[in-house]
Amino acid sequence: MRRRVRVRHRRKAGEPILRVYHEEFRSQDPDEAHAWLRNAYADHHLKISGSSQDFMFSCDITRLDGMSLGRMRHSMAVDIDVFDGLRNVTIVEHRGGGAVQVSIGPESVNLRAGECFLLPPDRPYQAAWNSVAAEVTTLSFENLQLDALGLLDRETVNLDFTRPVTPAAGRHWSQTIRYVQSFVSNSPLLAAAPLARRELGWLVSSAVLACFPNSTLDAESVPQTGGTPRPLRRALAFIDEHAGDPITLNEIAVAAHLSPRGLQAAFRRHLDTTPLAQLRSVRMERAHRDLQNAEPGNTSVAALAARWGFTHLGRFAVDYRRRYGSSPSQTLRSSFAGASGI
């Protein structure tokens, strides 16, 4: 059999639509493989060289909330023309095989294993390789712009076809995606945890903006002088009311009637913190309360952490102990003991 597709999450009648979708595709047929690639990423023309007798293509891809994480292997020599470009911001990391050449107009990059590059959406490009293994991460340009509003007080962020700003930035990108992939692969709770998914999206957007050249890196930090306690009270009330929702910095700023950078300046000036740090603090308080009130057998530390957007369980435990003087599991055991009358 030439093709195998496996869907990890299947929806039963009456169940809500899950927001995490995993697919595994395998094929020994080049035409079938590229038909799948056209549907998953973008339409393209291609020229394949060599015998297809031993051809093998595979791609494991997870999609969640405007983002996808893919691991791809392609065993033949190929020249591809993606004539309309990709639909989303795409970062490709070369993980194995021969050199990969990618061109947009007169600009081109040659990649070796361990190197990566960014492709902006809707830009035609050409690529060539003999065989390749790659990590392909895509994210919605709209979501990236919303996240960038926390760093740049403009409506758009400018991106171009580019490598990371430094080799260290490339390593940071690789480490970030390894962490996100590991969390997604090992968290069965993610489909029902919108805050955790939002934190992962913010983490990936932040890594894009930190690692690849873009307009936010050139922005000067201009203090906002119009922040007053009243806008801060509006922001704090909004955070308190919506801590259980996947809210963004921009939404908090709108509620406070400030620009995102003005909101950040006001928080630093009056509270010595940031809006997102305050949001995490409120969510930590809610997680602490839920651990205290948990009923025996009905929850776990991992479930409560994911519910309140904490995607790194070890870091959550460290921050929790620093704040409350005991571990989350100790608080949970204490609540179970109290409920049992022990």
**pLDDT: which is higher, 151 or 275:** 275
Quick: pLDDT tens for 237-294: 999 999 999 988 888 888 887 777 778 888 888 888 999 999 999 999 999 999 998 8
Could you tell me if residue 202 is inside a domain? Answer: no
Q: What is the average pLDDT value for the chain, to the nearest integer?
A: 84
Residue 46 shares a structural domain with residue 151: yes
pLDDT at 255: 84
Q: Of 162, 196, 230, which residue sits at a domain end? A: 196
Could you tell me if residue 187 is inside a domain? Answer: yes
How many residues are recorded in the chain? 342
Identify the band that residue 90 occupies on the pLDDT scale cut at 50, 70 and 90.
Answer: very high
CA angle 98, 99, 101 (to 5 degrees): 140
The residue range of the domain holding 49 is 3-196
> How many other CB atoms are there within 10 angstroms of residue 140's CB atom?
18
Quick: pLDDT tens for 292-301: 988 877 788 9
Q: Is the pTM value of this prediction over 0.75?
A: no
Quick: pLDDT tens for 210-247: 888 887 765 433 344 444 457 888 899 999 999 999 98
**pLDDT: which is higher, 302 or 256:** 302
pLDDT at 185: 87
pLDDT at 287: 94
Residues 275, 298: Cα–Cα separation, whole Å: 32
Residue 284 is classified by DSSP as H
Q: What average pLDDT does the segment 52-75 reach? A: 92
Identify the band that residue 147 occupies on the pLDDT scale cut at 50, 70 and 90.
Answer: confident
pLDDT at 49: 87
Residue 141 clears pLDDT 70, i.e. is over it? yes
Q: What average pLDDT does the segment 32-38 reach? A: 93
Which range of 86-95, 189-198, 222-231 scores highest in mean pLDDT? It is: 86-95
Could you tell me if residue 211 is inside a domain? Answer: no
CB contact set of 176 (below 8 Å; sequence gap of 6+): 203, 204, 207
> How many other CB atoms are there within 10 angstroms of residue 11's CB atom?
11
Identify the band that residue 5 occupies on the pLDDT scale cut at 50, 70 and 90.
Answer: very low
pLDDT at 4: 41
Residue 67 shares a structural domain with residue 165: yes
What's the CATH code of the domain at 89? 2.60.120.10
Could you tell me if residue 169 is inside a domain? Answer: yes
Could you tell me if residue 279 is inside a domain? Answer: yes
pLDDT at 124: 94
How many folded domains does the chain comprise?
A: 2
What's the CATH code of the domain at 308? 1.10.10.60
Identify the band that residue 8 occupies on the pLDDT scale cut at 50, 70 and 90.
Answer: very low
Residue 92 shares a structural domain with residue 183: yes
Q: What are the strands of the beta sheet with 132-139, ordered from one edge?
A: 3-7, 20-27, 57-64, 67-74, 132-139, 89-97, 116-119
